[in-house]
Amino acid sequence: MWDTAGQERYQSLGIAFYKGAECCLLVYDITSSKSFETLANWKSEFLRQAAPRNPDAFPFVVLGNKADREQERKVSTAKVENWCKQNGGMKHFETSAKDQTNVDKAFETAARLALENQMVTMYCDPCLSRNVGPSCPSAAAPATNYLRR
Q: How far apart are CA 70 and CA 67, in angstroms?
A: 6
Task: Return all residues near 47 (Cβ < 8 A) that are at least 6 apart.
Answer: 55, 58
Q: Bridge partners of 61? A: 25, 91
- C-alpha–C-alpha distance, residues 59 and 21, integer Å: 10
Q: Residue 112: count other Cβ atoms within 10 Å of its Cβ.
A: 16
The alpha-helical segments, DSSP class H, found in the chain are: 14-18, 33-37, 39-50, 77-86, 103-123
DSSP 8: G
As separate numbers, helices (DSSP H) first and strands (DSSP E) second, the chain gives 5, 3
Superfamily of domain 8-115: P-loop containing nucleotide triphosphate hydrolases (3.40.50.300)
Residues in the chain: 149
Q: What amino acid occupies position 109?
A: T
pTM: 0.74
The H-or-E segment that residue 61 falls in is: strand 60-65
pLDDT of residue 19: 79
pLDDT the model gives residue 6: 54
Spatial separation of the C-alpha atoms in residues 102 and 87, rounded to whole Å: 22
Specify the pLDDT at position 142.
Answer: 44
Chunk the chain into consecutive blocks of 10 residues (it has 149) and report each block's average pLDDT, rounded to whole numbers. Answer: 55 66 93 96 90 90 97 98 96 96 95 84 50 46 40
Residue type for 44, please? S
